[in-house]
Amino acid sequence: MEYISIGGVKIEKTAALAPMASVADRAYRGVCKEYGAAYMVSEMISAKGMCYSDRKTEELCTVLESERPYALQLFGEDPEFVGRAAGMLMKYKPDIIDINMGCPVPKIAGNGSGSALMKNPELAAEIVRSTVKNSDVPVTVKFRKGWDENNVNAVEFAVLMEQAGASAVTIHGRTKNQMYQGKADWDIIKKVKDAVKIPVIGNGDVVSPETAEEMYRYTGCDLVMIGRGSYGKPWLFKQIKHYLETGEKLPDPTLEERLDAMMHQAEMAVEYKGVRMAMSELRRQCAFYLRGMPGAAALRNRCGSLSCMDDLKAIRDEVLRGAEK
């Protein structure tokens, strides 16, 4: 097995789980880790929320020891707040602090955070310097190809982040305006890799063992990161690891194994968040597990009204009964 090092943090060179708000929570990260995800990044943590002791922020910072190596990800547009928040995160003992400079959603970018920072590289660099100054662990930055096709500055941005003290960068090969549409540009990932000496993590359009291997080969990136490609199939991390090690593709899990993974994630979510919040968030996530099954559309609609574990168990049992006919 090959490894990469981010500021001394050793990570298997297989596949990492991307930070995804309202998806990559402790429960989902836990399932992905069990299937071999090499590296975890938390959901976005508001720097100002951290500084003002917001209760929801506390939950986002709580990470299981079994998730190591892991990063806590901050977002914010004020160097002082982000730096101070990084110092406060040290009590949670993360292996890495990641700064989000790629989120495209309006409520983040519209406030000058996330991908909006790509329009102000000097401010972004100041945020990195402030974070490095206040952090006892390596600091990394996740960003995009650029704001739009007329403002593609990922290469210059990556160089600035390296100069400011970042120990690694993650680049998503889409612009802010693309959101999650269209094709990810792997050429820009390759250009970033060629421009910096620190590790580069590639993100975008990895959906299978073959595409993971292709991203490594085409871009030369140091680590592959998977976001939406893992929805409803956390076993993808196991398949990628096996494929990279042996060249052989593992079969997809059985129907029962797929449903067991769904139930396992749901049980952990309820344990961590309580029934009401967990089931609300699981409505979308459980629907992903049911894709491609007979009657999947109707089953996904039922997921939209999940209120307790018995509701989910009823869906599982119905799927299994249907498979026996």
Same domain, 50 and 87: yes
CATH label of the domain that carries residue 275: 1.10.1200
CATH label of the domain that carries residue 84: 3.20.20.70
Single out the residue in 222, 246, 270 at which a domain terminates: 246
Nearest to 16 by CA among 158, 184, 142, 201: 201
Same domain, 278 and 165: no
Give the pLDDT score at 78. Answer: 98
Single out the residue in 246, 263, 297 at which a domain terminates: 246
Same domain, 192 and 273: no
What is d(CA 64, CA 61) in angstroms, rounded to the nearest whole number? 10
Q: For the chain, what is the domain count?
A: 2
Q: pTM of this prediction? A: 0.95
Same domain, 309 and 201: no
Same domain, 240 and 263: no
Same domain, 211 and 232: yes
131-158 pLDDT per residue, tens: 999 999 999 999 999 999 999 999 999 9
Same domain, 179 and 273: no
What is d(CA 14, CA 241) in angstroms, rounded to the nearest whole number? 5
15-39 pLDDT per residue, tens: 999 999 888 899 999 999 999 999 9
Q: How confident is the model at residue 60 (pLDDT cuts 50, 70, 90)?
A: confident
Same domain, 195 and 52: yes
Residue type, 95: D
Residue 59 above 80 pLDDT?
A: no
Give the pLDDT score at 270. Answer: 96
Single out the residue in 246, 263, 279 at which a domain terminates: 246
What is d(CA 79, CA 230) in angstroms, rounded to the nearest whole number? 33
187-212 pLDDT per residue, tens: 999 999 999 999 999 999 999 999 99
What is d(CA 280, CA 271) in angstroms, rounded to the nearest whole number? 14
Q: What's the average model confidence in pLDDT over 169-183?
A: 96
HEC profile for the chain? CCEEEECCEEEECCEEECCCCCCCCHHHHHHHHHCCCCCEEEEEEEHHHHHCCCHHHHHHHCCCHHHCCEEEEEECCCHHHHHHHHHHHHHHCCCEEEEEECCCCHHHHCCCCHHHHHHCHHHHHHHHHHHHHHCCCCEEEEEEEECCCCCECHHHHHHHHHHHCCCEEEEEEEECCCCCCCCCCHHHHHHHHHHCCCCEEEECCCCCHHHHHHHHHHHCCCEEEECHHHCCCCCHHHHHHHHHHHCCCCCCCCHHHHHHHHHHHHHHHHHHHCHHHHHHHHHHHHHHHCCCCCCHHHHHHHHCCCCCHHHHHHHHHHHHHHHHC
What is d(CA 84, CA 203) in angstroms, rounded to the nearest whole number? 28
Same domain, 103 and 220: yes
What is d(CA 287, CA 296) in angstroms, rounded to the nearest whole number? 8
Per-residue tokens: 28 = 């989902």
182 backbone dihedrals φ, ψ, rounded to 5°: 70, -170
What is d(CA 213, CA 40) in angstroms, rounded to the nearest whole number? 20
What is d(CA 146, CA 148) in angstroms, rounded to the nearest whole number? 6
Same domain, 44 and 127: yes
Q: How confident is the model at residue 56 (pLDDT cuts 50, 70, 90)?
A: confident
Q: Which residues pair with 74 in a beta bridge?
A: 45, 99
Give the pLDDT score at 323. Answer: 75
Domain of residue 274 covers 255-324
Judge contact between 11 and 4, C-beta under 8 A: yes
Same domain, 188 and 295: no
Indicate which residues carry an active-site annotation.
103
Average pLDDT, the chain: 94
Nearest to 236 by CA among 13, 14, 23, 59: 14
Same domain, 272 and 157: no
